[in-house]
Amino acid sequence: MVDSRRLREVALTPEEYRVIVSELRRAPNAVELGMLGVLWSEHCSYKTSKALLRRLPSSGDAVLQGPGENAGAVEIGQGWAAVFKIESHNHPSAIEPYQGAATGVGGIIRDVIAMGARPIALLDSLRFGPLPASRHHFDGVVAGIGGYGNCIGIPTVGGEVYFDECYAQNPLVNAMCVGLVRVDRLMRARAEGTGNSLMLVGADTGRDGIHGASFASVELDESSSERRPAVQVGNPFLEKCLLEACMDLARTDAVVAVQDLGAAGLTSSVAECAGRVHAAGARIDISLVPRRERGMTPYDVMLSESQERMLVVVQRGREAEVERIFETWDLTSAVIGDVTDDGHLTVFDCRSTCSPTAPHFAAWSGSRPSRHRRCTSTRCRRSRTRARRCSVCWPARTSAAAGRSSAGTTTWSATRRWCLREATRPCCASRARGLGSR
């Protein structure tokens, strides 16, 4: 049984921990516990407010997209749709008013972008304690919302603000983004197509924002300032480049889906994108995730909430075409995994040297535990390039793809388990010896 301090850190209750153990049929490891903590947080799952939210109207003749996606969409005539997203950033703004509000705006802008729309306006609804005592929160939040949007070129066109004693030291910060898109270009973040690539684009991954989503499930008290590192730091100028790159991306048919990396970072984006498709899953190798800090653990990579990042589902074989678009805007892009049809989220960490003691773990998508896979080879000299992926650590996607080669793809020998571009040595150990499951 995990200790209560650790459960408080990931904002899980003892009852929730017992459910996890029951579903997995074993105790979760540290990474699994952290991932489930953020996925089951109030910010990601709405576990306490979902029952109330379901009572609100969400359908109608003009509604193109209701709950369940990155943003809602309503048809407004002449082939156009208005896309909108509202989100709160209360706890981060209470601790760090400027960055808490700014990164909240950055997140909803990316949600609108993920629907294929161009953001055109911001609005806000704010609640503070009485002035002048709440001046620090008031000035920081207003500057954060307006400052982030202005740097990108998206104006704050309206809003409301109230002051009351009940909001002292605990402001309510709700921001809204509105975008426009042609109805026939409206996108959904669904990881469809087994074998399609998962590409991480935008900023490099750091340690900022870890446990940021879990923070939404705890009560603010005198110790809340200790969670300041859980508040992310935004870069609106990089997000402007990301916005324009995604607009270029929407004009191609190489992309299946786009998903924002916000709360819970890579954990949430991959799980949500795959969870929207029946029986879909995902396999990712976190050693391929671009990082801006050394010594990051799998826990850090999966829970990082570094801003200005997107997950793109790319049609297999067209990765180079998508990479060129992001290179045009001087943005990082890296294929970190692919879509599977097993209903599991399987995570590998296979660096240049694989070790039985390396932290390999299983994650969970939906209600099914994932497979636990471990590479036992000590001689795997894998490159970060897609052309040298080991056929044991990274199995050939289909037998039909084995032996074929095209720009940006890997050539496989399905029978001998050799990487044909690295044919001077075998890749890892044999499949029977190199992989295990439980």
Alpha-carbon distance values, 238 to 92, 176, 284, 329, 370 (Å): 21, 20, 25, 9, 35
Q: In this structure, what is the dihedral angle of CA atoms 345, 65, 148, 94, given to the nearest 10 degrees?
A: -70
Yes or no: say if 320 and 408 are a contact pair by the CB < 8 Å rule: yes
Examine the residue annotation and report whether 372 is marked as an active-site residue of this protein. no
**How many Å apart are CA 92 and CA 296, to the nearest integer?**
23
What are 205's strand-pairing partners?
A: 291
Examine the residue annotation and report whether 137 is marked as an active-site residue of this protein. no
What are 77's strand-pairing partners?
A: 80
Q: Pick the closest to residue 276 from 178, 355, 383, 187 (CA basis).
A: 187
- Tokens coding 390: 């080991």
Alpha-helical (H) ranges within 250-282 are 265-275
Question: Judging by DSSP bridges, how do beta strands 412-413 and 368-369 pair with one another?
Answer: unpaired
Token pair 């923070």: residue: 215
Coil, strand or helix: which one is 396? coil
Yes or no: say if 230 and 331 are a contact pair by the CB < 8 Å rule: no
**How many Å apart are CA 123 and CA 174, to the nearest integer?**
9
**How many Å apart are CA 218 and CA 43, to the nearest integer?**
11
Whether residue 395 is preceded by a cis peptide bond, meaning omega within 30 degrees of 0, is: no
Q: Pick the closest to residue 285 from 200, 329, 222, 350 (CA basis).
A: 350
- Tokens coding 362: 């299983």
Residues known to be catalytic: 43, 89
